[in-house]
A = this chain, B = another copy of it.
Amino acid sequence: MVDIALIEAAARRLDGHVRETPLLSSPFLDRIAGRRVLVKAECLQHTGSFKARGGWAAISALDEAARRRGVIAYSSGNHAQGVARAAAALGAPAVIIMPSDAPLLKIENTRALGAEVVLYDREGEDRDAIGARIAGDRGLTLVKPYDDPQVIAGQGSTGLEIAAQAQARDVMQADVLVCCGGGGLSSGIALALEARAPGLRVRTAEPEGFDDMARSLASDRREVNSRRSGSLCDAILTPSPGEITFPILRRLCGPGLVVTEDEALRAMALAFLRLKLVLEPGGAVALAAALFRPEAITGDAVVAVATGGNVDAAVFAMALDRHEAAT
């Protein structure tokens, strides 16, 4: 059961080990959106995404014996780095199962953060079987990317910061847009805001074609994406809302927002130009919704969580190139 007490306990364990990221703004973005835009810059978090929070929360919650045996995670991206960093700092061996065609940089980063990377062939090998064998042999604890109470609680610490930072700016009523994959960050923030800033309401933001959460919120049951890949927003492509996260979001979240991939790239170019932040496409969809879906948002202000910045130079250059003139 995830609740505000679990989130606050996680926040205490995270204190001094993750960054309180700044809430940034620009009058130029306000003009585009037609309201005040506040950007929670989680791309500045350790490892370049909010995943450092959930990784730390989950591993720091293990008892001493489990921690010493170690943890395992499946990820080709941000979750891998978040788990690897926390495990190394907390003295837990970490095994990360990654597809052998994952970007070399992400594999190297995960290794450099101290994890043992086990590669598998997406076509010919069964990821779960490989992971289960290693986990069984060594007694490792699986750290899931979102459907885990401690992971949700860790991501929810972002919501505690947003509540305090918005209050300090006299923003008491606003939509809080969150880039959404499985819903771990969105549901954690939703619970934190319910308790600490009830005038702030979470809204999920997703890329077109991968809008399982928006459709699930509309139909009131967990919908599935027809595709699993094929978007630049790779960090937030999940098959369907989580079992734990969806009931929380069904209760607390407003209608889901959906943006095009091109709008995400344009938001990246604007974050470059106006905020001096590097965002990855999946980390820019909430800002894109804040800027380009003004009619779907209520209130004088909007908060957008910029969830990550782990983007290849080539994709970043494409965003700048395509949108420099338009910004």
The residue from B48, B277, B313 contacting A320, defined by CB atoms under 8 A apart = B313
In the assembled complex, the CB of A50 is this many whole angstroms from the nearest CB of chain B, namely: 12
Q: Is A92 an interface residue (CB 8 A)?
A: no
- Which partner residue on chain B sits nearest A308 by CB separation? B276
- For window 309-327 of A, CB contacts with B under 8 Å fall at 309, 313-314, 316-317, 320-321, 324
The residue from B276, B277, B320 contacting A317, defined by CB atoms under 8 A apart = B320
Q: Is A27 an interface residue (CB 8 A)?
A: yes
- For window 279-327 of A, CB contacts with B under 8 Å fall at 279, 309, 313-314, 316-317, 320-321, 324
In the assembled complex, the CB of A23 is this many whole angstroms from the nearest CB of chain B, namely: 10
| B309 near A317: Cβ-Cβ < 8 Å | no
Interchain CA distance A316-B279 in the complex, whole Å: 14
- Give chain B residues whose Cβ lies under 8 Å from the Cβ of A178: none
Q: Is A278 an interface residue (CB 8 A)?
A: yes
Q: Is A174 an interface residue (CB 8 A)?
A: no
| A22 near B19: Cβ-Cβ < 8 Å | yes
In the assembled complex, the CB of A39 is this many whole angstroms from the nearest CB of chain B, namely: 11
Chain A, interface size category, equals 20 to 34
- Give chain B residues whose Cβ lies under 8 Å from the Cβ of A276: 43-44, 48, 277-279, 309
| B275 near A44: Cβ-Cβ < 8 Å | yes
- Give chain B residues whose Cβ lies under 8 Å from the Cβ of A217: none
Q: Is A120 an interface residue (CB 8 A)?
A: no
| A272 near B27: Cβ-Cβ < 8 Å | no
Interchain CA distance A269-B316 in the complex, whole Å: 12
Query: A313 and B309 in contact (CB under 8 A), knowing A43-B276, A48-B276, A276-B44?
Result: no
- Most chain B CB neighbours (cut-off 10 Å) among A19, A24, A109, A316: A316
Can you list, as one digit per residue, whether each of A231-261 has a CB less than 8 Å from chain B (1) or not (0)? 0000000000000000000000000000000
In the assembled complex, the CB of A40 is this many whole angstroms from the nearest CB of chain B, namely: 13
- Which partner residue on chain B sits nearest A274 by CB separation? B48
The residue from B44, B269, B277 contacting A313, defined by CB atoms under 8 A apart = B269
| A272 near B28: Cβ-Cβ < 8 Å | no
A-B contact pairs, 25 of them (CB 8 A): A19-B22, A22-B22, A22-B44, A24-B44, A27-B112, A27-B113, A28-B109, A43-B276, A44-B276, A44-B277, A269-B313, A272-B313, A272-B316, A273-B313, A276-B277, A276-B278, A276-B309, A277-B277, A277-B278, A313-B321, A313-B324, A316-B320, A317-B317, A317-B320, A317-B321
Given contacts A22-B22, A269-B313, 20 further A-B contacts (CB under 8 A): A19-B24, A21-B22, A27-B112, A27-B113, A28-B109, A28-B112, A44-B275, A48-B276, A272-B278, A272-B313, A272-B316, A273-B313, A276-B309, A313-B320, A313-B321, A313-B324, A314-B324, A316-B320, A317-B317, A317-B320
